[in-house]
Amino acid sequence: MTVELRNLRKSFGGVAALDDVSLTIARGEFVALLGPSGSGKTTLLRAVAGLEFVDSGDIVIDERSIHGVPARERGVGFVFQHYALFRHMTVARNVAFGLEVRPRSRRPTARDIETRVQSLLDLMEIGHLGGRYPEQISGGQRQRVALARALAIEPKLLLLDEPFGALDAKVRKSLRVWLRELHERMGLTSIFVTHDQAEAMEMADRVAVLRAGRIEQVDTPATLYAEPANAFVHEFMGESVQFRCLVADGRAWIDGLPDIVLPNRCPSGPAVALIRPHEIGLLPGPGPARVDARHHVGPLRRVRVRMDDRVLDLPVPEGRWLPDAGQTCRLDLSQARVYPCASDAAGLSRAGDRESESPIRATMLIEENSST
């Protein structure tokens, strides 16, 4: 089943939730919609399910527009963020629901329904929980019930809204692998929404990064990490160190580091250079950076470097020069990527973006802190 999203637009009270979104998903693909809260990823998912109506654009599944098709007839499996299990029904009745509400002509017999429910529960490794109520089982088990219920109607397309959002870290890890395997085994096409870049990178064939209702980049996780299309994607896809710089004639001069020149294709003007901490090289000799501390435990070698008023925590790969505490050194930023400031500024002026960006910064800070 191929899914084509064509120029989708949707606004809530003047604020664009989807701003000209186009995306094609191939049969059997596992695609992640990644973005901060308020970026429109859930709206996009709900539009595909028919729970939200777009203002313009078209959704095409297997060459057929489903624009006018009501949600109940789309046959798309949807797993809700908080599972939305029917609280007054047992697990087995929850899973059977999609079959029991079918018109009589297409409804399997009661016995067939029982057999199918049981085999689905077995597939989810919760075969013994059929008689329990949702409130009597754990979060991870509820997640599996929600999946079983969505799969009972034999959808070709499975949509998952933050499928692991409400689970603790340990359960989350094991469910990720399990869900990916299930996707392969059942030959599904899946789209899932997440704000966790590690989750998207680990599970998805391709990742679409959204910001303020726009798709910033769609690529495989490896490409997305290695070649981010802009500063936002760079910062969202992993730890980043930012330097302000000025571009003139295809060369970028970094503020405060006059001896570093980065060739690039940006238009002249203010720009930012972004680099991952592990891409920063340390070179011996007098320079702007001063080593505050170094940690050398087992194979892990890290230094804390102070530069003007900023502190960088950098890993030093095996075989590279490891400075001593108190030494000064030069920086090798040749792997930095330079992006024009303009696109970022335009992004910031877009409505709703300011608040949506703060959580990323916060998580990046946490990541940086936890790695020290």
Place of tokens 């599904």: 188
- φ and ψ of 286, to 5 deg: -65, 135
Site for other proteins in 33-62 (CB under 8 A): 49-51
Distance (Å) of CA 328 to CA 77, 245, 334: 58, 22, 19
| Least distance from other proteins to the Cβ atom of residue 151, Å | 11
| Least distance from other proteins to the Cβ atom of residue 149, Å | 7
Q: Is 77 in the site for other proteins (CB under 8 A)?
A: yes
Q: Is 73 in the site for other proteins (CB under 8 A)?
A: yes
Site mask for other proteins (CB under 8 A), range 127-156, x = bound: --------x-------------xx-xx---
| Least distance from other proteins to the Cβ atom of residue 174, Å | 25
Question: Which tokens in the block code for residue 353?
Answer: 């973006």
Q: Is 85 in the site for other proteins (CB under 8 A)?
A: yes
Q: Is 185 in the site for other proteins (CB under 8 A)?
A: no
Q: Name the burial class of residue 319, with classes exposed (0-12), middle (13-18) and buried (19+) by CB atoms within 10 angstroms of its CB.
A: exposed
Alpha carbons 4 and 101: distance in angstroms, whole number: 29
Size of the site for other proteins (CB under 8 A): 27
Question: Which tokens in the block code for residue 265?
Answer: 């294709």
| Least distance from other proteins to the Cβ atom of residue 155, Å | 9
Q: Tell me which residue of 37, 36, 35, 33 sits closest to 47, measured CA to CA.
A: 33
Helix (H) or strand (E) holding 37: none
> CB 236: neighbour CB atoms within 10 A?
27
Alpha carbons 155 and 79: distance in angstroms, whole number: 12
Q: Is 1 in the site for other proteins (CB under 8 A)?
A: no
Angle at 144 between CA 128 and CA 174, to 5 degrees: 105
* Strand, coil or helix: 44: helix
Q: Is 78 in the site for other proteins (CB under 8 A)?
A: yes
Q: Is 71 in the site for other proteins (CB under 8 A)?
A: yes
Q: Is 157 in the site for other proteins (CB under 8 A)?
A: no
**Binding residue for other proteins, selected from 14, 64, 87, 285, defined by CB under 8 A:** 87
Question: Which tokens in the block code for residue 75?
Answer: 């046959």
Among 78-86, 210-218, 242-250, 258-266, the segment contacting other proteins (CB under 8 A) = 78-86
Q: Which is nearer to other proteins, 12 or 321 (CB)?
A: 12
Q: Which is nearer to other proteins, 70 or 299 (CB)?
A: 70
Q: Is 163 in the site for other proteins (CB under 8 A)?
A: no
Alpha carbons 188 and 311: distance in angstroms, whole number: 46
Q: Is 213 in the site for other proteins (CB under 8 A)?
A: no
Site for other proteins in 88-117 (CB under 8 A): 88, 97-98, 101-102
Question: Which tokens in the block code for residue 56?
Answer: 């313009």
**Residues interacting with other proteins, by CB under 8 A?**
49-51, 71-78, 80, 82, 84-88, 97-98, 101-102, 135, 149-150, 152-153
